[in-house]
Structure 1
Amino acid sequence: MSLRFIGIDPNTGDEESPTVWVDEEKKELVLQGWKPDEATEAECAGFEVPGHAVGIPDHEAVVRIPARMVPMIREACDAVERAGRVH
């Protein structure tokens, strides 16, 4: 895996570290964030989206990312687009 570090939450402390990377080989964003509380996860799992099953598949996760990290996420999106096709 060829991860490129983009940034970490600027307000991070010793025990929190929402982080953004780009996997340049797979052309994907990799995000580390906070686990949602049970109410948030249940709300996300209950959304009905046409063409998709309701719920969160076992191989997927919901994470929370602070809005102050939007510039890093934009930078990561730009890096993935430059690296090739976006999934």
Structure 2
Amino acid sequence: MQLRFIGIDPNTGGTGSPTVWVDEETLDLVFQGWKADEKTEAECEATVVPGHAPGIPEHETVIRIPARMVSMIRKACDVAERGELR
């Protein structure tokens, strides 16, 4: 697997910063973000959506990405959708 760096939180202090990449093989979006707090996780677990099992599976997690990174996420989506890495 090789990741293409798209962007990092512009308000980073240089440590533990939310980041977005695109997997060059699968075109999956890969995020590093802040671990969601218990209140946020509980809200996600309580959300009822047709076709979606309740709770958060052991192999998944909930993260937060700051809104100021929307343009980077949009860029990552465009890269993946167009298959620009292949």
How many Å apart are 1:26 and its aligned residue?
Answer: 0.8
Give SS of 1:20's match: strand
Q: What TM-score results when the alignment is normalised by the length of structure 1?
A: 0.91
Q: Does 2:65 correspond to 1:65? A: yes
Runs of at least 5 residues in structure 1 that lack an aligned partner in the other structure: none
Percent same amino acid among aligned pairs? 71
Aligned equivalents of 1:63, 1:18: Cα separation in 2: 10
1:82 maps to 82
Runs of at least 5 residues in structure 2 that lack an aligned partner in the other structure: none
CA-atom RMSD in angstroms? 1.2
1:31 maps to 31
2:20 maps to 20
Deviations 1:55-87 (A, max 9, x none): 011111110000000010000000001118xxx
Please identify runs of 4+ aligned residues in structure 1 that moved more than 2 A: none
Aligned equivalents of 1:15, 1:28: Cα separation in 2: 24
Aligned residues: 84
Aligned equivalents of 2:17, 2:26: Cα separation in 1: 23
How many Å apart are 1:2 and its aligned residue?
Answer: 1.7
Aligned equivalents of 1:26, 1:58: Cα separation in 2: 23
